[in-house]
Amino acid sequence: MNTVLIPGKKKEPKQKGLKADLHTHTCDGFMEKSINYNAFQLIDAAMEKGLDVLSITNHDDFTYSEYLKDYACERGILLIPGIELTIKQKHVLAYPLSGSVEDIHDLCDLEQRMDKDLLLVAPHPFYPIGRSLGEKFTAWRHIFDAVELCHFYTASINFNKKAVEAAKKYNLPLLGTSDSHSFQQLGTTYSFIYAEKDPEAVFEAIRNGFVDVVTAPLSMLDIGMLFHELVIQNSMKKISAACISLFSFLNKS
């Protein structure tokens, strides 16, 4: 499939675009144990993909440390702290440069934390999954700095269309991400952020819309391979682990 560039606002002619993916997952999260790689392996893979900026956004769990930050820096990557929060059973991507987000439980908490040190993005807002914002996006739109354009779509089925329309309607920038749970997803959709390689500058550029999205629809073969890896293989692993536990219990009894 042909790659498509969705341009943001006009940039300075000499400003270099930072290749960025701000929505990824690793096995280090409480909810992501079935993923086949950890944060260090993801950073290595991101380096191979030529990424300049990365954020690990595990569900309701921070995967970030000074050691990880330095590990990424040594590989030419700016690692930004991030988390995919569940707020009222809906997902919100949060990137706090200071302070904690552990006390955020509802919309009021998010509104009180809206400042330049916290970037908030609406992930896959209109995908037909329970944790997507759906109708809540309109009511919550004032808290968001950007709207995600997610990699998981095909030429004929694309739930990003409503996100693109909503971003335009409410004058919010688009941010392309992979939402990767597999290395196969990494690099399928990403952003060029026109900023200095610094977290505050990256946040400001996103808010100002100085972002180009690079994306391409997945083929049915891609979809099939992802389904096999993320669903079938993981199910087999769980069944295998359950069988091992059962046999171990029977041998002891």
Residue 94, beta-bridge partner list:
83, 120
Domain identity same for 61 and 157: yes
Where the chain has pLDDT below 50, the residues are 232, 235-250, 253
User: If you write DSSP's letter for every residue of 152-197 in order, what string do you get?
Assistant: ---SS--TTHHHHHHHHHTT--EEEE--BSSTTTTTSSEEEEES-S
pTM: 0.89
CA–CA dist 236, 244 (Å, integer): 12
What's the pLDDT at 235?
47
Domain identity same for 192 and 235: no
- Cα dihedral 37, 43, 44, 49 sign: positive
The model's pLDDT over 109-134, given as tens digits with 9 standing for 90+, comes to 889 888 888 999 999 999 998 899 99
What's the pLDDT at 127?
95
Contact present, 36 and 182 (Cβ < 8 Å): yes
Domain identity same for 229 and 159: no
Domain identity same for 28 and 91: yes
CA–CA dist 99, 84 (Å, integer): 16
User: If you write DSSP's letter for every residue of 56-114 in order, what string do you get?
Assistant: E--BTS----HHHHHHHHHTT-EE---EEEEETTEEEEEEESSS-STT--SHHHHHHT-
What's the pLDDT at 222?
84
Domain identity same for 249 and 214: no
Domain identity same for 185 and 238: no
Domain identity same for 251 and 199: no
Tokens 């200095």, residue located: 196
Provide the domain count of the chain. Answer: 2
Residue 191, beta-bridge partner list:
20, 213
Domain identity same for 175 and 91: yes
Domain identity same for 198 and 243: no
The model's pLDDT over 87-112, given as tens digits with 9 standing for 90+, comes to 999 999 999 998 778 788 889 988 98
What's the pLDDT at 250?
42
What's the pLDDT at 199?
96
Which H/E stretch holds residue 149? strand 146-150
Domain identity same for 206 and 103: yes
Domain identity same for 123 and 193: yes
What is the domain extent for residue 241?
Answer: 219-253
User: Which 3 state secondary structure label does DSSP give 247?
Assistant: helix
| Domain CATH for 59 | 3.20.20.140
Domain identity same for 119 and 183: yes
